Amino acid sequence: MAAPINTNRYRLILLLYLVFVCLSLLSVPASLLESNLYVIRTLSYQEQIIRKQLYRSEEFVKDADTAMLRGQPAIKVFVGLQQEIRRSFLFLDSVETTLLDTLRSQGTSIEKEYAKRRKLNSFFEHDSLAFKIETMLFSLADTISRYDTALGAEFKRWLPATKWISTQNGKDIKWVNFFFLNKPASVSYMQFKRIKLLLLQYQSDNWEKINSLVAQALLTNQQRLSSLLEEQQRQTNTVSASLRELTATTKKQLTLKQLQLDLLKGIRLDRFYAGIGLTLLADVPNLRMEDVDVAFSPQVRVNKTPQGINVIFPSSGQYRFRLYLVIENSSQLILERTLFVQRLPDPEVYLLSDNTAKNVISSVELIRASGLKTTILASGVPTVSSSVNGFRVTLLNTSRQSAALYNYGQIFQEDTKKLFSGLKGGDLLLFDDITVAIGDGSTRTVKPFIYKISE
């Protein structure tokens, strides 16, 4: 007689088999999750490369004249957009640093947690961090759209900036759940790195637009600058993972480019005046003045010393200026532009006294002043010598108007002092026909002025 069959045992075995099959279908292969680690490493490598590109772009803009940039509306728009994107990127960067420090303090890492969900899910759920990231990124998308509609639409598509995401099978999932929550660590962290890299790439693209506008503002139609920017772009596209692997040729090119940028930064390109010595180029680090050459048309007086290059323009007007860098006995054109040279402004003349207020002075203080003094107000130039050749003094008083006296030199002569000693309160004293000799070789007649004698 056959033994009785334990049907419950077979039912349990069948149930366990069905559970195993279902779990096999639902689970993600560990090899697929582990492969995400290589994607994460690639994203990290790309982040390092773009950071280097951003650093070079920022340094280029820093070399430009800030006052000039403020006058360019298009540059102000892109700089404002750049600040908004950078603020969001720095927030994500701080989140990533906190995440890695938290895992490290718990004795683990992304590599160890790649197939697990609990720790990263807990991190993003804590204090609603995932929702804060969502809110910040969606707000950034709206900000970019306000600056540039097309750029904003592109950013929303790549992010994507929608609270609900439809899957291939038609299921709607919340944004935070689709990318971060209840996902294996390698998946959620890979999406986090992707979004960081997206912000970094938008910064890089935006800096390229800013660099282009800065270049146009600095040197309009300068072929040399265009060549330098193209060389910079070619170098950026070929940057390797380690600077230690740069060849001697590449190092030489980088050194030459740095010299060119330092030279452009140190050159004087505005506020030129005729007849006086002006510093065209001051001491440039790591560059000898004998390796710099300049040419002007029409000719000007050039004085080159180890400390710099000084020039004297013989007259006001337009001058064509060329700047060369001498490398291995070969002159390389760095800059060519037109300079506008002005005539020095007329000097200001006033009494040699500190005790005057709104052209009112006592006769005693007037005699004590002993003469006139001059000054020339011109920004960006050294002190320019000037002295009074002579002037005329006239007492303006209807009851006792005197004949005009002419005083030679800037010191009051005896006749002038005698006139001053007889002044009374309310008298008006006119100084006119004032001629001044200036250090640029010219003689100017400056505007007259009147002083009232106090009681």
Per the CB < 8 A criterion, the answer to whether 332 and 310 are in contact is: no
pLDDT in tens, 47-66: 777 777 776 666 655 655 45
369-425: pLDDT as tens digits: 888 888 888 777 778 888 999 999 988 875 666 678 899 998 989 888 888 888 888
Read off the pLDDT of residues 116-159 as tens digits, 9 standing for 90 and up: 888 888 888 888 888 999 998 999 889 888 888 888 888 888 88
Mean pLDDT within 171-190? 85
Provide the 3-class DSSP secondary structure of residue 371. Answer: strand
For the 245-342 domain, the top CATH level (class) is mainly beta
- The CA distance from 145 to 161, in Å, is 12
Taking a C-beta distance cutoff of 8 angstroms, is the pair 357, 387 a contact? no
- Domain spans, the chain: 31-218, 245-342, 348-453
Structure tokens that stand for 148 in this block: 């540039």
Rounded CA-CA distance 75/61 in Å is 10
How do residues 319-341 score in pLDDT, each as one tens digit?
Answer: 998 888 887 778 888 788 888 88
* Residues ≥6 apart with Cβ < 8 Å to 428: 395, 396, 397, 450, 451, 452, 453
Q: What is the mean pLDDT of the chain?
A: 78
Residues facing 293 on adjacent strands: 324
| Distance of alpha carbon 449 from alpha carbon 429, whole angstroms | 9
pLDDT digits (tens, 9 = 90+) for 250-294: 666 667 777 777 777 777 767 788 888 888 787 777 777 788 888
Question: Helices (H) and strands (E) in the chain — how many of each?
Answer: 13, 17
Assign 1 a pLDDT band (cuts: 50, 70, 90).
very low
**Distance between CA atoms of 174 and 232, rounded to whole angstroms?**
43
Could you read off the pLDDT of 297-313 as tens digits, one per residue? 889 898 888 888 888 88
Count the helix, strand and coil residues of the chain and give each as a percent rounded to the nearest 5. Answer: 50, 25, 30
Instruction: Indicate the length of the chain as a whole number.
Output: 455
Name beta bridge partners: 304. Answer: 309
For residue 406, what pLDDT is reported? Answer: 93
